[in-house]
Amino acid sequence: MKPTTEAGTILAFGAHPDDIEFGCGAVIAAETAAGRKVHWVVGSKGEAASNGTPAIRTREARRAAKLLGATIEFVDLGGDAHFAATPARTILLAGLIRKVRPAVVLAPSVVENQHPDHVCLGRMVRDAARLARFGGLKELRRVKPHAIGQLLFYAVTPEAEPVDGARVLVDVSNPAVVAAWTAAMEAHASQLRTRNYVELQLVRARLNGLRAGLEHAMPLFPAEALVVDSLAALGRGARRY
């Protein structure tokens, strides 16, 4: 099946109410500023968090999504700290992919030694993206199959960044993009009691940008080799040759 790119929609998955914002929020801000539709799916309401109730965290996530110009919905994948990859949950995610019909899917990286929910969700989304293509899957026969263009992983923390393999640096230097991203992260006030996550993410983006001669950049990690129709579609390398 040829990948479908209807409206160029981006579908971003997060395990917890703040993952998308901290892990790839600047990318979301840049894409919506360019007129691209972005939809979020969050797999828990932060029930196991040390700070903030599920109701508070849900409100924070909805506010953050609005600040970044994205739509958002919540699904039940077992609850915070209770994620487990099951066929039923993976097929649920595949159904969401068929419903939204995105060109690009973003999900947490599958690197170990981070929150286990992140790893579990990343693996389920990877598998769901494949199942979404299978027309004979009985549970989803009422929804038209859909093949995405790309699955890109994001890292919520530096420790979640894959050591090996390709990465794509997204230029998010636009001050308006950084401002919107910062506001979205600050919307999660309950979580900022634990650590200054906003400063952590801004420093990460600044460091990645400086390495590439930019003000700010965010890394994404392709699940598969990227395919382009022409070399003209390629940007430059991070190092200027």
Per-residue pLDDT of the chain (241 residues; tens, 9 = 90+): 344 444 489 999 999 999 999 999 999 999 999 999 999 999 999 898 889 899 999 999 999 999 999 999 999 999 999 999 999 999 999 999 999 999 999 999 999 988 999 999 999 999 999 999 999 999 999 999 999 999 999 999 999 999 888 899 999 999 999 999 999 999 999 999 888 999 999 999 999 999 999 999 999 999 999 998 899 888 888 887 6
Q: What does the DSSP 8-state code read for residue 111?
A: -
Q: Is 133:145 a contact under the CB 8 Å cutoff?
A: yes
Burial 158-178 (b: 16+ CB within 10 A, else e): eebbeeeeeeebbbbbbeebb
Tokens (6 digits) for 223: 């699940």
Q: What is the CA radius of gyration of the chain?
A: 17
Burial 121-157 (b: 16+ CB within 10 A, else e): bbbbbbbbbebbbeeebeebeebebbebebbbbbbbb
Domain 6-233, what fold?
A: Rossmann fold (3.40.50)
Kind and range of the H or E run holding 150:
strand 150-154
